[in-house]
Amino acid sequence: MSRIWLQRLGALVLLAWLAAGALAWLALDPPAALVGARRAVPVATPDLGFTPPDIGAVRAALEESLMWGVQRDGNPLPPPKKAEELAKKIEWRLLAAVERQGERLLVIQIEKDKPQTVREGELLPDGGKVLKVRRDAVSIGDAEGNSREIKLVVE
């Protein structure tokens, strides 16, 4: 076969394919079940193996921090305590544990001052807290969170 005949044959095959494609495209009507409206498919999120951070706890920690040099309401921070004040320990002593009108109290004395009362749950002068007052013992928590029990002599 000559080259012209091969070109004519190729053009005839190409026209036949184009005609068949146009006929299938225009004449055939696909059923509605085959072609329908697309639904939104949720995007798959990759599992990276970590849990998201607790934003509430982070926000609370940031609000409590004094990193900006002012308090949350905009007031300036109180001046820091001097090293002498921090190094000086407040000495107090327990004089008595009493119950008055259903309320349990401690009677303490700070250095040489006059005695004063401290209720259950209140803070002591050195930063500790009165946890529990009983007839024979007193539980006291210090500023670091440790607790100790002081036994009382009951007469």
What's the domain count of the chain? 1
In a domain, 12, yes or no: no
Structure token pair of residue 53: 């951070």
- Answer yes or no: is 146 within a domain: yes
Q: Is residue 42 part of a domain?
A: no
pTM here is 0.42
pLDDT at 11: 96
Task: Residue 94: give its domain's CATH number.
Answer: 2.30.30.830
Residue type, 98: V
In a domain, 113, yes or no: yes
Tell me if 91 is assigned to some domain. yes
Q: Which residues span the domain enclosing 108?
A: 83-151
Averaged pLDDT score across all residues of the chain: 82
Contact between residue 130 and residue 140 where contact means Cβ atoms under 8 Å apart = yes
- Average pLDDT rounded to a whole number, residues 63-82: 78
Rounded Cα–Cα distance for residues 15 and 126 (Å): 101
**Residue 3 is assigned to a structural domain of this protein:** no
Residue 124: how many other CB atoms lie within 10 Å: 19
d(CA 110, CA 94) in angstroms, rounded, equals 9
Whether the per-residue pLDDT at 18 is higher than 90: the answer is yes
Q: Is residue 130 part of a domain?
A: yes
Residue 13: inside a domain: no
- H/E segment holding residue 4: helix 3-27
Q: What is the mean pLDDT of residues 140-153?
A: 83
Model confidence at 98, in pLDDT bands (50, 70, 90)?
A: confident
